[in-house]
Amino acid sequence: MLRTFVVLGRSHSVTEAAERLRLKQPTVSSALKRLEDRLGKRLIDRSPGHFRLTEAGELLFREAIEIQGAILRLGTLMRDVVDEVRGHVEICVASHVVCPLFDETLRRFHERHPAATLSFRVSSSKDALEAVMARRASMALCLVRKRNPKLEYARLFREFFGLFCGPTHPLFGLNGLTRADLAGQTAVSFVTDRLEDALRPVTLMRADLDVVDRTVGTSANLEEVRRMIIAGLGIGPMPVHVVRRDLEDGLLWQLPPYDNLPAIDVHVVWNPSAKMNRAETALLDMLLEQIRQVPIEARTYI
């Protein structure tokens, strides 16, 4: 019933939840009713055109995600009892995280623990944090806007965002551009480029340049934002150090402002209540030790 409820909490209707679970709608409705009867609480407000978790439902949803994550990890923990040297590390990472310090840590980790395995899942920062909270991932490398007190955070590196356009854009290749030249231009950006989200500094920069109201495309994936910029849909923000090769190859052109660019921090995030296997613990410890030893100035990429 809890598994069904977690899917209901992520859906917009009982029908949608049934499709995700590959069950019939009456089966899902019956499971929800049994759960509500068992708890003596109404968990979902549902009526024509209305489907939303109640306050009790929100509380149960958060707890059920943690329970589900703990159950999913039992297999990993049992394998460690048999063979403690071998372990798997699941890392959720925001798209196109470029961090030499992390790459060097991975090299050292593999050198010391060649039997350990790793997998990377690229997702939005929001989904990455949810996966760590639900214990579906060992750790996340992502942007953070609001900290969850149940998670732990360490700043991995700092990057700076500039604005760019593609080869077919009318501003491409022009020197001596000013902020005024960008006013009214169409824009593309990340879904987190909002005042209440992780890329708030980028939003403020675009607002100052009057390129907020004409956003024609968004994505949670850096490669897709890059695609839209190169295709000429509009100007867009990108981490300067990530697109350096694109600038050299003539695929992107940097636009004003050139100084005082917004700084964005990328964090490593983990769940301290999760029972980690030896491989997960070893990689996290190595990464945190590198962060402690290397000053932030050396982890700031421009």
Average pLDDT, stretch 247-257?
Answer: 95
79 CB-side CA count, 13 A? 14
The pLDDT-based confidence of 84 (bands split at 50, 70, 90) is very low
Average pLDDT, stretch 57-62?
Answer: 88
The pLDDT-based confidence of 62 (bands split at 50, 70, 90) is confident
Please state the pTM of the whole predicted model. Answer: 0.70
pLDDT digits (tens, 9 = 90+) for 195-249: 667 788 888 887 777 665 678 999 988 999 999 999 999 999 999 999 999 999 9
pLDDT above 70 for 138: yes
**290-293 contacts, C-beta under 8 A, 24 or more apart:** 290/101, 290/104, 290/105, 291/101, 291/154, 291/155, 291/156
pLDDT for residue 95: 85
pLDDT digits (tens, 9 = 90+) for 38-51: 889 888 988 777 88
Q: Which residue bears the tokens 């694109």?
A: 246
Handedness of CA 191, 196, 201, 207 (dihedral sign): positive
Burial 208-240 (b: 16+ CB within 10 A, else e): ebebbeebebbbbbbeebbebbbebbbbbbbbb
End-to-end Cα distance, the chain: 50
The pLDDT-based confidence of 145 (bands split at 50, 70, 90) is confident
